[in-house]
Structure 1
Amino acid sequence: MLDRRAMLAAGLMAVPGLARAQQAQAVAPLAPSPEEQRLRTDWPFLQRYAAENAVDRDLPPERLRVVFMGDSITQGWRDARPALFADNGLLGRGISGQVTAQMLVRFWPDVVALKPAAVHILAGINDIAQNAGPYDPAATQANLQAMTTLAQANGIAVILATVTPAAEFPWRPGLGPAAKVRALNAWIKAYAVERGVMLADYTAVLDDGAGGMKPGLAYDGVHPTREGYAVMEPVTLAAIASALARV
């Protein structure tokens, strides 16, 4: 018969508390990443532009003409073409990965409270990408309607932008976004007419005819390159000029 020392050496006797310690280690939750923690405490990311908003609220009218509300495409636009924004009195309020519901929550502090002459709303691609759950076209449309209504109720001219093309999402393949983008854009165009707001239609300058981005205009099939933004800008500036002419 093996003694206690031999049994321990052979692994036949459990060390008191060892199994419990191993089990506790196995089920211990991982610490949330900074992004996960932020989503829990500030889901719409109200703090992203809080400091800038505090400064920009006091800008003279010529430097606060249009706020750009959007996601990574808008955020990347300001990063790639800062002169466009600085020279034309444009303020970028894009946040990477955001869906229209998040933008609606922050629409007051990031747009209305700044009292711009106009707002450019480019939103919806991340709804289609299911960044915050299954895509519900009616919910996305309602969020765009709410932002438009908030702006108009506060004397801010609205420029609704068509969603930029996407044949596939690199971070979530298999969703078949092209048809969904076309359907949402058809609704945006009709709603712009219904509400009497300007439309910035980027489809003709970006779409390759099959629902994707033209070669060289996006670095991942979704996010524009500098060349992509360059072909968008004449459409943008024309829409801004028409919107401001109505103010």
Structure 2
Amino acid sequence: ENENRVVFMGNSITIGWLKTRPEFFKGKPYINRGISGQTTPQMLIRFRQDVIDLKPKVVTILAGTNDIAGNTGPSTLKMIMDNIKGMAEMADANNIKVILSSTLPAYDYPWKPGLEPAGKIIKLNEMIKEYANTHGHIYLDYFSKMVDERNGLPKKYARDEVHPTAEGYMVMESLVEAAISEALKN
């Protein structure tokens, strides 16, 4: 039962992965729990039912960009980190291995232009990495493998600055598979 089950917690980037690349999830013990537009407080609220209750071996958390976009109101990087830490602590307490993903690059948000999120994303990723490294979690760095010279996503990897193309997801797939293997080793 639950053999090496992995839950993917996230937002539209996570649910879009299932829609764009269903073959990646097919036949694997991967459960996609992405909900479009969600911010970290919304993920934290549903973390028990959507992750803990499914008794996975591993959870991968990809979050933060909608907080920076202000989807559920203004939020500081500390608020985002507190919510990510809350999810990681809950997983930890239930013996679920935690993979904390970097937020993907974004030069601009099509639904909220002009926010200039790139600098905040870089800073948030430094905070996520530092937290992962000091708490025995795996830091999954999508950012540096996908970023362009604007600190955004190149056209080949994103159709609208934010949501990955099939090619973008394929880059993410090899990275997440490696992180999952590492998590299951320990």
Deviation at 1:119, TM superposition (A): 0.1
TM-score w.r.t. length of structure 1: 0.74
User: Following the alignment from structure 1 to structure 2, what is the Cα–Cα distance between the partners of residues 199 and 80?
Assistant: 24
The match for 1:153 among 93, 96, 107 is 93
The match for 1:203 among 143, 160, 178 is 143
Q: Which is greater in Rg?
A: 1
Deviation at 1:135, TM superposition (A): 2.4
User: Following the alignment from structure 2 to structure 1, what is the Cα–Cα distance between the partners of residues 172 and 149?
Assistant: 16
Map Cα deviations across residues 97-125 of structure 1 (whole Å, 9 max, x no partner).
00000000000000000100000000000
Number of matched residues?
A: 186
Structure with more contact order per residue of length (Cα contacts < 8 Å, sep ≥ 6): 2
TM-score w.r.t. length of structure 2: 0.97
Structure 1 segments of 4+ aligned residues over 3 angstroms from their partners: none
Pairing of 1:1-247 with structure 2 (within 5 A): 60-62=1-3, 65-246=5-186
- Percent identity over the alignment is 49
Counterpart amino acid of residue 104 in structure 2 = T
Deviation at 1:87, TM superposition (A): 2.9
User: Following the alignment from structure 1 to structure 2, what is the Cα–Cα distance between the partners of residues 85 and 159?
Assistant: 17
Gaps of at least 5 residues in structure 2 are none
Gaps of at least 5 residues in structure 1 are 1-59
User: Following the alignment from structure 1 to structure 2, what is the Cα–Cα distance between the partners of residues 210 and 189?
Assistant: 21
